[in-house]
């Protein structure tokens, strides 16, 4: 009878160890997700009040494609488009990413500048984009 209890105790211990290792592996490999959000604004010319405020007019930039790249800025990770108010949001795994932002250089020519974005799990990260036009 004592042998049976011994084998049962060993079997229960083995099962407990298997469950413990399989659940800890899931915890270690689970990725936290966060949200990247912001608005895209176009800095251009002042337009007539009765005109819809889209580029080249100064104001929110609707239907602008926001592309998130890996840390090195080479592989596309996610894409989205802004709404009519220039707002966007993307759910991303925790990590470091790159966005390219259009700016104007000293010769008033548009250039794409990489910006590093950090995403922390279970939080919202805000990154507003201002597209500067050489039109003034």
What pLDDT, in 10s, does the model give residues 74-92? 999 999 999 999 999 999 9
pLDDT tens track for 23-56: 444 444 557 999 999 999 988 788 777 766 677 7
Question: CB–CB of 125/98 below 8 Å?
Answer: no
Highest-scoring range by mean pLDDT, 21-30, 60-69, 96-105, 126-135: 60-69
Mean pLDDT of 106-123: 82
Six token digits for residue 60: 């929110």
pTM for this prediction: 0.70
Residue that has been written with the tokens 């580029």 in this structure: 55
Q: State the CB neighbour count (10 A cutoff) for residue 133.
A: 16
């Amino acid at each position: 009878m004592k042998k049976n209890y011994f084998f049962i105790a060993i079997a229960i211990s083995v099962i407990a160890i298997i469950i413990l290792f399989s659940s800890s592996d899931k915890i270690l490999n689970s990725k936290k997700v966060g949200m990247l959000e912001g608005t895209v604004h176009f800095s251009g010319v002042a337009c007539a009040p009765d005109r819809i405020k889209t580029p080249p007019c100064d104001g929110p930039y609707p239907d602008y494609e926001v592309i998130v790249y890996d840390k090195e800025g080479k592989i596309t990770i996610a894409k989205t488009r802004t709404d009519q108010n220039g707002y966007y949001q993307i759910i991303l795994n925790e990590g470091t990413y790159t966005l390219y932002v259009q700016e104007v250089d000293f010769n008033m020519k548009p250039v794409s500048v990489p910006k590093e974005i950090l995403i922390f799990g279970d939080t919202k990260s805000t990154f507003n984009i201002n597209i500067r036009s050489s039109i003034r």
